[in-house]
Structure 1
Amino acid sequence: MTTPIEGFSKLSKEDKINYIAQHYTQYPKETVAVLKQYWNDDEKLQNLHDEFIENTITNFYLPLGIAPNFLINNKLYAIPMAIEESSVVAAASKAAKFWQTRGGFKTTVVGTEKVGQVHFMFHGDVEKLTTFFKLLKPKLIQSVAAIVKNMEKRGGGIKHIELRDKSSDLDDYFQLHCTFETLDAMGANFINSCLEGFAQCLKEEAQLYAPFTDKEKDLEIVMSILSNYIPNCVVKAEVSCPVSDLKAHHGITAEDFARKMVRAVNIAKVEPYRAVTHNKGIMNGIDAVVLATGNDFRAIEAGAHAYASKDGRYTSLTHASIENDTFKFWIEIPLALGTVGGLTTLHPLVKLALEILQNPTAKELMQIVAVAGLAQNFGAVRSLVTTGIQQGHMKMHLLNILNQLGATEEEKLSLIEYFKKHTASHSAVVVAFEELRNKK
């Protein structure tokens, strides 16, 4: 059994690697070689990556692909996507091409309001606390004047501070519910700094408020933190066209295809088991762009799934309808994104990805990301209601299987050609590969 190590963070990178290789892997020499294989030869660039997080031992690569031909509000984009899953980039690209000749994607930013909260416990008279808060509010804003100064110059800052009584949910629990405008910054550090300033001011002023009893003065700050649930930081993306403009698919008429699409989305609206996978497909497209642009895909995921449950039931993030012989497909989703700060100017590929996107503002990036999710979902649902998901997915996954089998370049070309006309399941690929090898 491996014993715990003291001071691992103080070891050099070489020593960290050697320790992990010797204590946690079967072949230490091979482990060291693999880890060093992914180091960047440019020492300055490698040091930059090493400092993004703690205890780094190497770089973990993901493919960075491009989905071209996205017409968004009459402007053409090539969208960078960082993801490891086969068929995501292909499906998004195919959907983009499909809608490019049908008016493209239309987007609207509904709101950009971010949220943060100071959570505290108050044991006493709620009416006195309410009166105290009215007097406190301007002092709260003044307490963080230095923090918000630059943000206000750019047009952002604190929007609202509200006292919320949550004691019916948890005894003595209250919160300062605060909203912010952070412009092109995602704003996490700004919001958290403001909240901690609010908390300190709240604690100090409560001690000085004469009407409070000693017990009331001793209110307890539990925590101060932004929320990744942002129901008022929402973007809408949509596509539409006459039903007759939809292509027939595998013997299905355009009219039947439209009806099948609407039914599939409606099933995801009422069936949570389907909705989770349906929304996962949306996030395939969204996460890939969020990651490529140096944003926090975990925060985006959490906020999106919370939004899908906002009416008390987990449901589809996309919607579809047929109205007056027009097929409509749209998404509304919360996206807290930034194009300044964080990794946007530090990570060379993030910087390049934003350049490829024509250096968007945060609002523009919200629209691009929402479109990527909508396109991905359209591609996935289209496959599901026509050929089935596996045909396209397995053909895209074909190279992964062949690489696992150790196929040569010649064998890959031969089998790729073969599976253009045959169903590509894992077992079918293995059989075809073995037959090809045996012929040799």
Structure 2
Amino acid sequence: MNTVVEGFSKLTKEEKIDWLAKNYTRDPESSKNVLKQYWNTESKVQRLHDEFIENTITNYYLPFGIAPNFLINDRLYAIPMAIEESSVVAAASKAAKFWLERGGFKAQVLGMEKVGQVHFRYKGDHRNLEKFFEFVKPKLISAAKPITENMEKRGGGITHIELRDKTEVMEDYYQLHCTFETLDAMGANFINSCLEEFAKVFKAEAQTFPSFAENEREIDVVMSILSNYVPNCLVRAEVNCPVEALETGESIAPREFAEKMVQAVEIAKIEPHRAVTHNKGIMNGVDAVVLATGNDFRAIEAGVHAYSSRKGQYSSLTHAAIEESTFKFWIEIPLALGTVGGLTSLHPLVKLSLEILQNPTAKELMQIVAVAGLAQNFAALRSLVTTGIQQGHMKMHLMNILNQMGAGEEDKKVLVNYFKTRTVTHSSVKEALEQLRK
């Protein structure tokens, strides 16, 4: 029976598991065995994972794969990807090989600006607030020096602080809109520490500012927090080749293939229902690399989808064009990533992922991740405008279906060969397995 528990966080891991299995599972012993079989046998590694979050009881595994043959800015990469969805790694690898033979991917970082805001309420004359802001701005920067000193030595730090009047959308609402350069760190802790220092000094200095009337001295700080919307932390990745070089191996002429690719992207630009799925496919590639490198895929997702809606309608992240017999395909995407801090020096697989990627800077990782998203989108669109998405996807999904049906190793070998020339569906696999077993 489900029960309230007091002091759950203070229980040992074994006690947490016992309580959970007893109160929330039908077969407590079986449930405990499932949880424990995912423990790392190396106690040091397991202890490290236990301390990443609170109330840890086990590890949750995702497949960790490699997509090789990515030529990015004339440098060859094997890209690590952590993802559970069938066909993503295969599709990325196929796109990488396709463009390897056509000059590879080019990528460049267009900006590295991170954003944070102090949200506050002020009931007085906005002209007095503007005077106060000009007075206090250098004090804010000076007060944050102990936080920013090391970052500044490496070339980063606070880049701008701006007072924004938001009273048109909420009564008495203003912001300190702040921008930062955090170099190879994603910078969340750095930015939030700066913002909280700004808020403290801003509020305290208001108490003695001469131009404020008595009723204007109270600055009500609501919150101080970084923003995951970073439209100026932007990277562009692209591919291009002569249209006649777009021989895909499918029964479609290069010119028709190029035109259909352009049309498919245009549909995703104007039709939100298509755009969401279009961009989800891009994020298959992006998130898989973000996860493998220990970055925050939820922050990336939120920022990317906000960016996709910045013109008032949700739209495609990628673009395609035919210009003077050259096919061009590119993406511009906001990516606030880090290669130092967080899990990058703690999680063994994250450290290895970064090593596999030749220990990139944050700028280089932005380029790699953008390329992974572009490759994924190219592979998906290529399937959609030629054979259809299901043929390749369901073949990759075949092994999952066979595992669900309890197929043995010999059965799998026979059926993988059988479905090389047949359409894979759940019912066709079930029928074929039943026939085989007879």
Q: TM-score range by the shorter chain?
A: over 0.9
The secondary structure found in structure 1 opposite 2:420 is coil
Does structure 1 residue 125 correspond to structure 2 residue 125?
yes
| Aligned equivalent of 1:4 | 4
Distance in 1 separating the partners of 2:144 and 2:136:
13
Residue 249 of structure 1 deviates from its aligned partner by 4.7
Query: Hey, what's the Cα distance between the residues in 2 that align with 1:247 and 1:418?
Result: 28
Alpha-carbon distance between aligned partners in 1 of 2:77 and 2:248, rounded to the nearest angstrom: 27
- Alpha-carbon contact 1:249-1:257 (below 8 Å) kept: no
Partners of 2:215 and 2:314 lie apart in 1 by 42
Percent of matched pairs sharing the same residue:
71
Taking the TM superposition and a 5 Å limit, the aligned residue runs for 1:329-340 are 329-340=329-340
Cα shift at 1:208: 1.3
- Equivalent position amino acid for 2:82 in 1: A
Tell me by how many angstroms 1:214 deviates: 2.7
User: 1:19 and 1:143 mapped to 2: Cα distance?
Assistant: 48
Aligned to 1:158: 158
| 1:269-326 deviation per Cα after TM superposition (whole angstroms, max 9, x unaligned) | 0000000000000000000000000000000000100000111110000000001010
Alignment of 1:107-122 (within 5 A): 107-122=107-122
Paired residues for 1:124-273 under 5 Å: 124-273=124-273
Instruction: State whether residues 331 and 374 of structure 2, in contact with CA within 8 Å, keep that contact through their aligned partners in structure 1.
Output: yes
Q: Superposition pairs for residues 420-431 of structure 1, below 5 Å?
A: 420-431=420-431
Q: In 2, Cα distance between the equivalents of 1:270 and 1:215?
A: 50
Residue by residue over 1:116-144, the C-alpha shift from the partner in whole angstroms, topping out at 9 and shown as x without a partner, is 00000000100000001000000000111
Matched, 1:360 2:352: no
Superposition deviation, residue 4 in structure 1: 1.4
Tell me which residue corresponds to 1:75: 75
Distance 1:337 1:378 in 2: 23
> 2:3–2:23: 8 Å Cα contact kept in structure 1?
no
SS at match of 1:341: coil
**Aligned equivalents of 1:76, 1:248: Cα separation in 2:** 22
Distance 1:389 1:19 in 2: 45
Q: Deviations over 1:73-119 (max 9, x none)?
A: 00000000000000000000000000001010000100000000000
Matched, 1:436 2:436: yes
Query: Which amino acid is the alignment partner of residue 140 of structure 2?
Result: L
Offset at residue 250 of structure 1 (A)? 3.2
What pairs up with 1:381-420 in 2 under 5 angstroms?
381-420=381-420
Matched, 1:344 2:344: yes
1:51 to 1:113, Cα distance in 2 relative to 1, 3 A: same
Contact 1:320 1:327 in 2 (8 A): yes
**Counterpart residue number, 2:56:** 56
The reply on whether 1:300 has 2:288 as its aligned counterpart is: no
Following TM superposition, by how much is the alpha carbon of 1:370 offset from its aligned partner in structure 2, in angstroms? 0.1
Which runs of 5 or more structure 1 residues have no equivalent in the other structure? none
- What SS does the aligned partner of 2:360 have? coil
Unmatched 5+ stretches in structure 2:
none
SS in 2 for 1:171: coil
Equivalent residue of 1:115, what SS?
A: strand
Q: How far did residue 215 of structure 1 move?
A: 2.3
2 CA distance for matches of 1:147 and 1:228?
21
Q: Work out the CA distance in 1 between the residues paired with 2:52 and 2:248.
A: 49
User: What CA distance in whole angstroms lies between the structure 1 residues aligned with 2:292 and 2:219?
Assistant: 44
Question: Quick one: distance in 2 between partners of 1:12 and 1:214?
Answer: 55
CA distance in 2 between counterparts of 1:77 and 1:157 reads 31
Q: TM-score, normalised by structure 1?
A: 0.99
- Structure 2 length normalisation: TM-score? 0.99
Q: Aligned partner of 2:324: which letter?
A: N
The structural deviation recorded for 1:3 is: 2.4
Does structure 2 retain, via aligned residues, the 8 Å contact 1:249–1:386? no
- How far apart in 1 are the matches of 2:27 and 2:213? 66
Query: Could you say which residue in structure 2 is the equivalent of 1:378?
Result: 378
**Deviation of 1:248 (Å):** 4.4
Q: In 2, are the aligned partners of 1:63 and 1:82 still within 8 Å (CA)?
A: yes
SS in 1 for 2:421: coil
How far the C-alpha of 1:252 sits from its partner, in A, is 1.2
1:307-352 alpha-carbon deviations (Å, 9 max, x no partner): 0011111000000000101000000000000000000010000000
Instruction: Output the CA distance in 2 between the equivalents of 1:229 and 1:156.
Output: 19
C-alpha separation in 1, matches of 2:186 and 2:406: 44
Distance 2:201 2:232 in 1: 27
- 1:369 maps to 369
For 1:370 and 1:191, the matched residues in 2 are separated by: 24
Q: One-letter code of the match for 1:138?
A: P
Structure 1 runs of 4+ off > 4 angstroms? none
Structure 2 SS opposite 1:155: coil
Q: Contact 1:184/1:361 (CA < 8 Å) preserved in 2?
A: yes
Q: Does 1:328 align with 2:328?
A: yes
Taking the aligned partners of 1:203 and 1:365, their CA distance within structure 2 comes to 39
Whether contact under 8 Å (2:9, 2:54) holds in the other structure is yes
SS at match of 1:208: coil
Distance 2:180 2:167 in 1: 25
Distance 2:408 2:420 in 1: 18
Deviates most, 376-385 or 2-11: 2-11
d(CA) in 1 for partners of 2:93, 2:251: 23
Distance 1:236 1:315 in 2: 17
- How far apart, CA to CA, are the structure 1 residues paired with 2:428 and 2:383? 21
What is the rounded CA distance, in whole Å, between the counterparts of 2:5 and 2:210 in structure 1? Answer: 53
**Aligned counterparts of 2:296 and 2:12: Cα–Cα separation in 1:** 28
Task: Measure, in 1, the Cα distance between the counterparts of 2:216 and 2:427.
Answer: 69
Amino acid at match of 1:190: F
